């Protein structure tokens, strides 16, 4: 078994199993936890829980006007690398084929050249996010190992993917194997660190919105 | 066996002019990325070369490699060079049989000690004492080791000889191994392919005849001249890959338009061979041009790479079962964790 066989076989399979186990474990543990019944009377004229949840999710897509200027970099840069990652993951044909092979789901994709450009922009954006974290006193103060490790495992697949399509530094099969292994590390870490926000971000924002709406906030 | 005529003289007898021969040497030189001066030296040395004794051993194989070489488009200079070598032993092509041919092999080994070249196609079975393939009452292993003992070099022709090939594919019932796994004290040149490109073999033989040394090899023992670049990089369908235009079946719009075959499992990006540049049958076509993805036949264990029609980016192995099991276990663990937390909370409230 060569490195690529290992990456495409045991490594990615175990990584996916760990990711799925971890995600469902954490999600079910949270969703089935239950909550104490809210005995307060809802404010008149407030939307129902679902409407409030959706409103809050939409509202938090942009910063509050009070903080818009101060948060302009985080807001803009955050959108760039999140959308960039989505385009690279879901817009590149070989990536979709990975998903299709597992689930049977497929959709039209972008020209490879477009994805390469988006990948490069995403890489720069992620690098800028780290610079910001290191140079901003507040961000640096509140950052821990989880933040830095999550950044590393996120940027590694982007770097290794670009290196693989560019055939830089080694034979393609080696670069592809390294790329897949970097994704395996990302998948394994995903449920256990801050990257889990990928699954919780809308749940937590929606829950907060429903909770606050009942009180007229 | 004994023939004192040079290759130049033999070619002249076949009506091949010196000019045509120099052109061939230049073509071969450029194909092998040799400098111009070396190509001229190659032409001179090749013309002076004496008949090379070659012993061809066939082990666990399908004879496809021999078929490919002998049925290559002809008559060509490659054929004439192939004719020029003294093929002292070859199961498919030899006229005699039995003890006579075994004697011929021994005589060739004795007469050309240290100078003859051994070409092998097929893998060697090692399980159960190698009984799964024998010739003249001897196991392939015994025949191989006896024959290569005094050889100048060994050429493993085809993927079975070079890497074990299909006989070595899981579950490898005969314990098949490659020639390189057994021969450690002689130069072993691998010319893999199922079958290999004839020009890659004759080119390598021509290089050996010209310079008396082994050409530059890659990490898998393959001449870099023929196996130095991957098929994807030289594929005429590469622009469609870059545009994101893929055939999704063998009879859809993409297939009819000649789009990239990555999605239907083409292994071109990880396969190193000269198919896309030299092609087959006198440069007529190659598998991808004929509408089928590359199988990766010049790579080790190509039969066990997860399926010919599975895209390179897809996972291989029991992914669905593993992920399904993990999903079930994760859901149960999550519900159990929530139940434990609720129970504790309830106990605290009561307490």
B272-300 pLDDT, tens digit each:
999 999 888 778 899 999 999 999 999 99
Residue B60 has pLDDT above 90, yes or no: yes
- Domain boundary among the residues B199, B226, B253 is at B226
Which residues of A are less than 8 Å from B314 in CB distance?
8, 97-98, 100-102
Q: Does some domain include residue B28? A: no
B338 to A21: CB separation less than 8 angstroms, yes or no: no
Residue B72 has pLDDT above 70, yes or no: no
- Give the mean model confidence (pLDDT) for residues B300-305: 93
Segment B247-260, tens digit of pLDDT: 999 999 999 999 99
Least confident of A157-161, B17-21, B142-146, B182-186: B17-21
| Tokens coding A10 | 């045991």
Residue B339 has pLDDT above 50, yes or no: yes
Residue B38 has pLDDT above 80, yes or no: no
On whether both B236 and B332 belong to a single domain, the answer is no
Q: What are phi and psi of B260, to 5 degrees?
A: -60, 145
Domain range list for chain A: 3-21+69-214
Domain A3-21+69-214 part of CATH 3.20.20.120: no
Residues 146-205 of A with CB under 8 A from B: 167, 171-173, 176
CATH value at residue B288: 4.10.480.10
Q: Does some domain include residue B22? A: no
Closest listed residue to residue B237, CA positions, set B292, B188, B317? B292
Backbone region of residue B230 per phi and psi (left: phi > 0; alpha: psi in -120 to 50; beta: other values): beta
- Calculate what percentage of chain B has a pLDDT beyond 70: 93
| Tokens coding B219 | 């990490």
- Check if A24 contacts B (Cβ < 8 Å): yes
- The strand pairing partners of B87, in sequence order, are B54
Cα–Cα distance, A207 to A53 (Å, whole number): 6
On whether both B139 and B267 belong to a single domain, the answer is no
CB A23 within 8 A of CB B331: no
Number of domains observed in the structure of chain B? 3
Cα–Cα distance, A88 to A114 (Å, whole number): 9
Burial grade of B272 (CB within 10 A; 0-12, 13-18, 19 or more): buried
Nearest to A98 among B305, B315, B325 (CB): B315
What per-residue confidence (pLDDT) applies to A155?
A: 97
- Give the mean model confidence (pLDDT) for residues B51-74: 82
Segment A93-105, tens digit of pLDDT: 999 999 999 889 9
Q: Does some domain include residue B181? A: yes
On whether both B74 and B171 belong to a single domain, the answer is yes
On whether both B62 and B134 belong to a single domain, the answer is yes
A31 to B338: CB separation less than 8 angstroms, yes or no: yes
Grade residue B212 by pLDDT with cuts at 50, 70 and 90. confident
Residue B80 has pLDDT above 70, yes or no: no
Cα–Cα distance, A176 to A165 (Å, whole number): 8
Segment B226-248, tens digit of pLDDT: 999 999 999 999 999 989 899 99
CATH value at residue B138: 3.40.50.700
Least confident of A9-13, A169-173, B164-168: A169-173
Grade residue B79 by pLDDT with cuts at 50, 70 and 90. low
On whether both B69 and B217 belong to a single domain, the answer is yes
What per-residue confidence (pLDDT) applies to A158?
A: 98
B315 to A109: CB separation less than 8 angstroms, yes or no: no
Backbone region of residue A105 per phi and psi (left: phi > 0; alpha: psi in -120 to 50; beta: other values): beta
Residue B66 has pLDDT above 90, yes or no: no
Length of chain B: 351
Segment A35-73, tens digit of pLDDT: 777 787 878 878 888 999 999 999 988 888 898 888 889
Residues 82-111 of A with CB under 8 A from B: 93-95, 97-98, 100-102, 109-111
On whether both B105 and B215 belong to a single domain, the answer is yes
Q: Does some domain include residue B277? A: yes
What per-residue confidence (pLDDT) applies to B75?
A: 46
Closest listed residue to residue B105, CA positions, set B121, B126, B119, B123? B119
Structural domain that includes position B286: 231-304
- Calculate what percentage of chain B has a pLDDT beyond 90: 57
What per-residue confidence (pLDDT) applies to B349?
A: 77
Segment A138-167, tens digit of pLDDT: 999 999 999 999 999 999 999 999 999 988
Q: Does some domain include residue B348? A: yes
Q: Which residue has the tokens 């490109």?
A: B197
Q: Does some domain include residue B310? A: no
Q: Does some domain include residue B333? A: yes
Closest-CA distance of chain A to residue B173, Å: 18
- Check if A6 contacts B (Cβ < 8 Å): no
On whether both B333 and B298 belong to a single domain, the answer is no
Q: Does some domain include residue B34? A: no
- Give the mean model confidence (pLDDT) for residues B8-23: 75
Please provide the average confidence, as pLDDT, over all residues in chain A: 92
- Give the mean model confidence (pLDDT) for residues A10-20: 96
- Give the mean model confidence (pLDDT) for residues B135-146: 94
Residue B199 has pLDDT above 80, yes or no: yes
- Domain boundary among the residues B203, B226, B249 is at B226
Q: Residue A94: helix, strand or coil by DSSP? A: helix
- Domain boundary among the residues B226, B257, B280 is at B226
On whether both B297 and B200 belong to a single domain, the answer is no
Grade residue B71 by pLDDT with cuts at 50, 70 and 90. low
Cα–Cα distance, B119 to B154 (Å, whole number): 6
On whether both B132 and B147 belong to a single domain, the answer is yes
pTM of the model: 0.84
Please provide the average confidence, as pLDDT, over all residues in chain B: 87
On whether both B348 and B235 belong to a single domain, the answer is no
What per-residue confidence (pLDDT) applies to B4?
A: 66
Q: How many CB pairs under 8 A join A and B?
A: 139
């Amino acid at each position: 078994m060569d490195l690529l066989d290992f990456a495409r076989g045991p490594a990615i399979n175990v990584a996916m199993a760990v990711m799925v186990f971890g995600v469902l474990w954490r999600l079910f543990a949270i969703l089935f936890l239950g909550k104490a019944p809210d005995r307060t009377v809802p404010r008149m004229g407030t939307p129902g829980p679902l409407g409030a949840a959706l409103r809050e999710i939409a509202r938090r897509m942009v910063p509050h006007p009070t903080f818009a200027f101060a948060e302009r970099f985080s807001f803009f840069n955050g959108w760039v690398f999140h959308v960039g990652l989505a385009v690279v993951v879901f817009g590149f044909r070989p990536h979709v084929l990975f998903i299709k092979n597992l689930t049977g789901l497929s959709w039209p994709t972008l020209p490879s050249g477009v994805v390469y450009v988006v990948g490069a922009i995403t890489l720069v954006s992620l690098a800028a996010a780290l610079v910001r974290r290191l140079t901003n006193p507040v961000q640096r103060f509140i950052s821990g190992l989880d933040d830095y490790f999550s950044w590393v495992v996120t940027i590694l697949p982007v770097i290794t993917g670009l290196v693989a399509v560019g055939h830089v530094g080694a034979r393609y099969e080696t670069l592809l194997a390294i790329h897949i292994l970097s994704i395996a590390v990302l998948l394994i870490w995903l449920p256990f660190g801050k990257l889990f926000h990928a699954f919780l971000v809308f749940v937590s924002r929606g829950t907060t919105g429903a909770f606050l709406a009942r009180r007229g906030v | 066996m004994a023939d004192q005529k040079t290759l130049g003289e033999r070619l002249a007898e076949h009506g091949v002019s010196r000019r045509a021969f120099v052109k061939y040497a230049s073509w071969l030189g450029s194909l092998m990325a040799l400098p111009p001066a070396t190509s001229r030296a190659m032409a001179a040395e090749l013309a002076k070369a004496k008949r090379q004794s070659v012993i061809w051993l066939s082990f666990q194989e399908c004879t496809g490699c021999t078929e490919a070489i002998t049925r290559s488009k002809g008559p060509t200079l490659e054929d004439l060079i192939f004719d020029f070598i003294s093929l002292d032993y070859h199961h498919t092509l030899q006229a005699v049989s039995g003890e006579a041919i075994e004697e011929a092999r021994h005589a060739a080994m004795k007469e050309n000690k240290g100078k003859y070249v051994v070409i092998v196609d097929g893998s060697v079975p090692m399980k159960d004492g190698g009984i799964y393939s024998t010739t003249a009452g001897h196991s392939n292993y015994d025949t191989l080791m006896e024959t290569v003992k005094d050889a100048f070099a060994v050429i493993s022709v085809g993927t079975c000889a070079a890497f074990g090939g299909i006989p070595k594919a899981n579950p490898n019932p005969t314990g098949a191994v490659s020639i390189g796994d057994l021969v450690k004290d002689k130069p072993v040149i691998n010319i893999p392919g199922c079958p290999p490109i004839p020009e890659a073999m004759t080119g390598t033989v021509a290089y050996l005849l010209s310079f008396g040394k082994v050409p530059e090899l890659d990490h898998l023992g393959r001449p870099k001249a023929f196996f130095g670049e991957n098929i994807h990089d030289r594929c005429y369908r590469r622009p469609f890959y870059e545009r994101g235009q893929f055939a999704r079946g063998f009879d859809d719009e993409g297939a009819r338009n000649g789009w990239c075959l990555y999605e239907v499992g083409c292994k071109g990006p990880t396969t190193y061979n000269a198919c896309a540049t030299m092609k087959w049958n006198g440069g007529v076509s190659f598998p991808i041009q004929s509408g089928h993805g590359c199988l990766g036949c010049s790579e080790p264990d190509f039969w066990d790479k997860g399926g010919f029609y599975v895209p390179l980016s897809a996972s291989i192995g029991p992914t669905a079962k593993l992920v399904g099991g993990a999903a079930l276990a994760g859901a149960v663990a999550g519900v159990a964790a929530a139940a434990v937390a609720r129970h504790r909370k309830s106990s605290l409230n009561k307490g």
